[in-house]
Amino acid sequence: MKMKLLVIGDEKRARRYLPENPITDKVKMIVCPRDATEVELLRAGADADFILADAIAPVSRSLIERMPRLKMIHSEGVAYHAIDLEAARERGIFVCNCRGVNAGAVAEQAVLLMLGLLRNVVPGDRAVREGKQIAVKERAMVEGIRELSDCRVGLIGFGATGQATARLLSAFGCRVLYHSTHRADPDTERKCRVMWASRESVISECDIVSLHVPVTPETEKMVDAGFLEKMRPGAYLINTSRGELMDHEALRDALMNGAVAGAGLDTLYPEPVTADNPIASLPEDCPGRVLLSPHIGGITGGTFTRAHQMVWENIERIAKRKRPERIVNGL
């Protein structure tokens, strides 16, 4: 009897990135869309051995408790906050992620957002299309354009993505500070050309503050009014992690009153983002202060190729009665 994998996500993606691994012939794959109801998921895959979940697809306690053969829940990405970790742990079900799989891709997006804000990319594009190129250019020459190399960049969080971002920034000649609960070893700091600093120093001393932490009870809405008030005048906020890290109303207020010069955001909350989101609906008198991207930092082809390879390798490990890798729920 074949083992079964319930995929909660996009079927085209699940099949496109299916790796060349013999284990795929021994597992029946059942795919349900990310917005499928729990009833639909159970109807399709109540007897599944594994779940592969889109990184923002919820996997509830109720679903977990009604799947008697379930052995592993695997995030398709790095995030796992939508999975009930405790419910899985209680039943001895592994929850795994693809830690580090998209670090380089997300780092590129973070630097893109930094450069886009410093160079006023969106307003500049609009100005050229409207025949206002010279006026914008002359104003920029008077006001000045800040180079990334002139900026002190602060990273909050220094896991795989934070380290990849630091390595890219070193090529620009930036001075990079970071704060992490667990300080990196001296060799890693030297290779990434970074200096550890307190959280308060990173927030208050840097021209750009970039978030690289997961969503946890401790980090949810960490960017609140108090955080934003500590940022130095003219500083920018970059978030390529999760929208839940930010208090959107507080950030909106800080952008409107000029307390924060701008924000480059690859993710907002909730998703999908609607037109009335506090950040997406900023008034027109805040031009260029926000640069948004549609949560694409980590969804490159290379990322998905590596991620699905990781997932199927973990399925193979369990099939061979071995422990999977990158367990996140403490088993």
65, 91, 193, 271: the catalytic one is 271
Active site residue 271: yes
Helix axis angle, 103-118 to 121-129, nearest 10°: 60
In a 13 Å sphere around the CA of 11, the CA atoms on its Cβ side amount to 7
74, 175, 242, 252: the catalytic one is 242
The tokens 């001296």 sit on which residue?
186
Angle of CA points 68, 30, 269, to nearest 5° = 90
Active site residue 218: no
Residues with catalytic function: 242, 271, 295
